[in-house]
Copies of this chain bind each other. A is one copy, B any other.
Amino acid sequence: MREDQAAPPPADVELIGRRTPQRSTVLGALIGSAEFLSAQALHLRLLAAGEHVGLSTVYRTLTALAEAGRADVVRDPGGERLFRYRPSPQHRHYLLCRVCGTGLPVDSSLVGSWAAGISASSGFADVQHTVELTGTCPDCLREQ
């Protein structure tokens, strides 16, 4: 029923430095959302809930979480970066709904080995890959 608990014990805050109320709040909001969120959307959400955390702090916390591997980052068509909490530290890819933002994790082992093969045959070093799938989810399809 409630999709956001008051304050689900945010354990991995300390992965990114000192434990502060602001970081716990941001991490809590990120964990509480099933969808990818932009820094600004998350900030607005906090304001609406009466939680006053500076926008700079939201940006810094999300960026730090992403660098620590606790958040996935994706770029929306407009270039905005969207964040989503990642419970397990593994690398993942998502199929994102362009209408509602819902993200569905997809099995990307095939893409991973494809990229590894390209890396080996090209002579390039430190090859990284970005894979993003977008579409319209069944729910949003139904609602026209």
Contact = CB atoms under 8 A, between A and B. Distances in A.
Main secondary structure, interface of A, reads strand
A126 to B, nearest CB: 5
A106 B130 contact: no
B136 A124 contact: yes
A1 interface: no
Number of copies: 2
16 contacts: A75-B79, A97-B124, A104-B122, A111-B131, A119-B133, A124-B135, A125-B135, A126-B136, A127-B134, A127-B135, A128-B135, A129-B132, A130-B131, A130-B132, A130-B133, A131-B132
Interface of A: 75, 79, 81, 95, 97-98, 104, 106, 108, 110-111, 114-115, 118-119, 122-138, 141
